[in-house]
Amino acid sequence: MKFEEYIQKHRSELDHRKPDKDRIWQGIQAASHQRKTKRIRIYQWSAAAVIILLISGMFLRQEFVLQRQIENLSQINSSLAQKEQAYQVQVNQKWQQFQSIESNASPIEGMLINELKELDTLYQEGLKDIQKDKNNERAIMILLETYEKRLRIIEKLIYERHKQIKYEERNPKTQL
């Protein structure tokens, strides 16, 4: 027997119950409330995801800014680039002149080279200050002064090498 035929024959037995309207309405309201709470949860999760994305974006932006560090004054403006380039040329020429002089190292040479290393450290610290504020004129002046000091120190190194050569010429080493 088919299902439809069964229902037709036993309709009177099956229809004895009346629907409880209050119970049905409560079921509808409960289902509606569940949908609302699901929507609220979805909105809450969406808001949390947006907040996390914003915070992540700000963090990544900050990291990219820090990675884009200033390595020299030419990244600030063109007039500083010209000054720095002129100093770099002078420093490189003097350094090559110093290296071309063959002589034994004088006692003062090590101290002067350490001063050059300290100037490099000062230069890097100045660059960090400029990264914080590109218009920091004091830091820019300090960076330019480091080049002038490098030139003076390299000139002292050259002088010491020439002095060492003269000393070696006046006092030749005696070999046994």
Q: What are the tokens at 25? A: 């309405």
Contacts (Cβ under 8 Å, ≥6 apart) of 146: 119, 122, 123, 126
Q: What are the tokens at 102? A: 């063959």
Model confidence at 63: pLDDT above 80: no
d(CA 165, CA 170): 9
Closest CA to 109 of 167, 156, 171, 173: 156
Q: Which tens digit of pLDDT belongs to each residue from 144-168?
A: 889 899 999 999 988 988 888 888 8
Model confidence at 47: pLDDT above 80: yes
User: Kind and range of the H or E element at 143?
Assistant: helix 137-170
pTM to 2 decimals?
0.54
At residue 84 the predicted structure's pLDDT band, cuts being 50, 70 and 90, is: confident
Model confidence at 67: pLDDT above 60: no
d(CA 112, CA 93): 17
Q: What are the tokens at 153? A: 């120190």
